[in-house]
A = this chain, B = another copy of it.
Amino acid sequence: MFNLVKSELTRRNLLHQAGFGLITLGIVPAIFKPTPTLAQGAKEPPMPPEKKLGWAVVGLGKFATQQIIPSFAECKRSKLVALVSGDRAKAERYAGQYGVNPKNIYNYQNYDTIRDNPEVDVIYIILPNALHAEYSIRGAQALKHIMCEKPMAVTVAECQGMIEAAKKSDRKLMIAYRAQYEPFNLAAIQLAQSGKLGKLKSIVSDHGRNLDPKEPSDRWRAQKKLAGGGSLYDIGIYSLQATRYITGEEPVEISAMMYSTPNDPRFREVEENVNFTLRFPSGVLANCTSSYGYSDTKRIQVFGSDATLELDPATDYYKHRLTVKSKNGNEERNIPQQNQFALEMDHLSESIMNNKQPKTPGEEGLQDVKLMQLIYEAARTGRTIKV
């Protein structure tokens, strides 16, 4: 039925010559025979679907539906199996698109019955900050492992309640600090701590964006009772995190200033700008900005005695650029982009599978909430605060 220039025989002979093995009638060999090392190469294959842990996503806002839910497709150990939403129609639409069984759709009332669903191993809380504690605690009480978005919660007490609840249920609690799973940030940490920049002297990190009142997911962020804080809680926390994971240390002193544009309706309840300075035990001083008023910025810069590292954008969803600047020139490193959301979720799944503490547990989230409270205090009092 196929009759081109080359005869069947010629073709088989030619594959043979090419090292693909002898082709005899009835036995067509593998066209490609990669060496074993290649088959297990850089790109780890996904686990078979039935071995992946089942995740429920709580809250179907923009971040959940545009970043997290599509990212399951790139997970190796995690799969989406359930949705929790107050909007049934919306949940059904996403369930249809992503192959979630409609019986696994929950609302905020029957949320606790998720306990009875053995398909669900992990619950990912993507709600306004003020609801993180309640839904994490209820999730842990339903004997599920918990991933919770940052900031962990609004108050230190809430954070402590969450940690306790997870402990009591013997479940993992992880805070979704995606940057700590993202390859460019990992490379920056490695470079900074390896001594390749010389002795670290200073860190400068700037994170800001324009709060957009036309964006539904930004509307609750303008409300103190739902958001807990302003730009610092939402995006300044990336600057704070950066100083901690780059140094591997905890700050010992904090000073800060705040400013919110008067009469800007966005900043009636939450702050616009926070500039803060941190002192670390090794002597590193870090200057950070946090803003709900300037155009998109996500940048980390590390000044060492021998070289400077610039990560800009540092904490974007997709795009990153890492440059090492020294007296010889500027070296932009080639680092393969990866889906940080998938890496982050798989980290928790792997921690659960191997029963180990995740890298960013509840205690990590609690520490940031503590420090952010002190930053507000430093700004309010005009005094350098000892931690």
Q: How far is the CA of A331 from the CA of B322 in the complex (A)?
A: 12
B296 touches A303 (CB 8 A): no
Given contact pairs A138-B2, A295-B306, A60 touches B47 in the complex (Cβ within 8 A):
no
Cβ proximity bits A304-331 to B, threshold 8 Å, 1 near / 0 not: 1111100000000011000001111111
- Chain A residues 285 to 304 lying within 8 A of chain B, measured CB to CB, are 285-289, 291, 293-297, 301, 303-304
A208 touches B5 (CB 8 A): no
Q: How far is the CA of A303 from the CA of B60 in the complex (A)?
A: 32
CB contacts (< 8 Å) of A74 on chain B: these are 70, 73-74
CB contacts (< 8 Å) of A107 on chain B: these are 28
CB contacts (< 8 Å) of A189 on chain B: these are none
Nearest B-chain residue to A220, judged by Cβ: B18
The size of the chain A interface, using a CB distance under 8 A, is 131
CB contacts (< 8 Å) of A61 on chain B: these are 31-32, 34
Whether, in the assembled complex, A382 has its beta carbon less than 8 Å from a beta carbon of chain B, the answer is yes
A133 touches B4 (CB 8 A): yes
CB contacts (< 8 Å) of A99 on chain B: these are 48-49
A255 touches B279 (CB 8 A): no
Cβ proximity bits A118-139 to B, threshold 8 Å, 1 near / 0 not: 0000000001101101100110
- Chain A residues 336 to 378 lying within 8 A of chain B, measured CB to CB, are 336-337
B327 touches A295 (CB 8 A): yes
Q: How far is the CA of A1 from the CA of B135 in the complex (A)?
A: 12
Residue in contact with A277 in the complex, picked from B86, B277, B306, CB distance below 8 Å = B277
Partner-binding segment picked from A144-152, A175-183, A199-207: A199-207
Given contact pairs A86-B30, A273-B202, A295 touches B291 in the complex (Cβ within 8 A):
no
CB contacts (< 8 Å) of A289 on chain B: these are 202, 204, 285, 287, 303
List 11 extra interface pairs beyond A26-B109, A35-B216, A45-B94, CB under 8 A: A2-B138, A11-B134, A32-B60, A32-B61, A34-B216, A48-B97, A197-B295, A202-B208, A202-B289, A210-B305, A277-B287
